Amino acid sequence: MVDLSVNLAGVTMKNPIIPASGTFGYGREFAEWYDLDILGSFSWKGTTAQPRTGNSQPRIAEAPAGMLNAVGLQNPGIDAVIAEEVPNIARIFHGPVIANIGGFSLEEYAENCRKLEDVVQAAILEVNISCPNVHAGGKNFGSDPESAAAVTRAVKAVTKKPVFLKLSPNVTDIAGIARACADAGADGLCLINTLLGMRIGLKDRRPVLANRTGGLSGPAVFPVALRMVWDVYEAVGKDLPIIGCGGVSSARDAIEMMLAGASAVEVGAANLRDPYACKKIIEDLPAVCEELGIDKISDLTGGAHDD
């Protein structure tokens, strides 16, 4: 029997498959389709200090082999999530949960994470540094090493939980940003977030998205995500676990991502196309592992790199 268990900074999961933030809500809708306890974990919807209604419509657009979204971090706010969503999560999922946290200032990131310190089921804090820094003219926290390190230090100062920084691919040197997070005390990394893109309507000659640009996800981004996971593993993978994310749609994709350096894998846009996507990947993993002669899936991490 194949051992599918993995460990992320001391958090043990029964398998490496995690629905990605923004594609799984807080689990409510998917719990109506299947037993969520089959999952290794899930990353809840990006949560900020205050409730957010998100961007104007339209905020979803089709793209070849993927989709664009400009939802805008719509969420009920951290206090409502703790009061209302966390108790429901405890009823529908009994494993460790990854809490995805956004923020528009260092203080907001820190305060959001501090409030989760006593939320037992939130086992890992996944800090999204693709948010714009309101004190730096809207420049994203994840766009340069200094800002990424500052968020890391601010969050690590208020929590004992493992902190994973979710990195943006819209940068020149993602490995440099990963190293900065590692040096600042990060316990792990998650990559990639969506790639910046847009569509234009041919008849009205206007951007399709009200926000003009949005984040590209889906199978189209898989080779980019794979390359970035490879680069980050080369930079810090011996020291920090990596959650690979971007275009994963099958068990074979998940294994490929782990060979590139991931210890676990998040599945995003595939959930929006097929609500059973993660369930199918988990069910397919043992057979694919047996076909490839894999007895313990955690042994795959970084397996494509030279020793």
Which residues are CB-contacts of 288 (< 8 A; sequence separation ≥ 6)? 251, 252, 255
Q: Report strand pairing: 6-8 vs 11-13.
A: antiparallel
Residue with tokens 């397996």: 303
Cis amide bond preceding 169, omega within 30? no
Strands 17-19 and 188-191: unpaired
Helix or strand (DSSP H, E) at 240: none
Q: Annotate 88-104 with b (16+ C-beta within 10 A) or e (fewer).
A: ebeeebebbbbbbbbbb
- The residues that are catalytic are 131
Tokens standing for residue 164: 């994973």
Whats the size of the chain, residue-wise? 307
Distance (Å, whole) CA 190 – CA 245: 7
